[in-house]
Amino acid sequence: MQDEPKNESKNNSQNQSNEPADMQHAEKVSAFHNAMELQAKVRREEELRERRRQANEAEAAYQAREEYAKELAEEKVELIRLKQGVIEDSDRIFQEEESEKKYTVLQKIGNW
């Protein structure tokens, strides 16, 4: 009978020593789990930012196309008016945008 309490005390001491190891393991798993969740959250946020950026880019491209299409339509109407003789001259269609060329010093000397 005396052996039984000793065995129980041994089992208790073994259980006590195992519990901290299990708890440490559980803490490691939870820390790992927390790190994984944090990485997933950061990844989701990056994906959302990228999607918003792409949506903004697509919207800007759409607006540019719409503006260009509107400009072309206005020029077409103006050309039709020119052909019909409704208007004499068009600043929009016959725009000449020749800017003065900027030469470097070496180019100026070379052209002299």
Q: pLDDT averaged over consecutive 10-residue blocks of the chain (112 residues)?
A: 53 51 57 92 98 97 97 90 79 68 85 74
pTM of the complete model: 0.48
104 — phi, psi (to 5°)? -80, 170
Joined together, the tokens standing for residue 21 give: 């190891």
Q: Are 92 and 74 in contact (CB under 8 A)?
A: yes
pLDDT given for residue 94 in this prediction: 62
Task: Delimit the domains of the chain by residue range.
Answer: 3-95
pLDDT given for residue 61 in this prediction: 97
pLDDT given for residue 69 in this prediction: 97
pLDDT given for residue 7 in this prediction: 53
Would you mind telling me the total number of residues written for the chain in this entry? 112
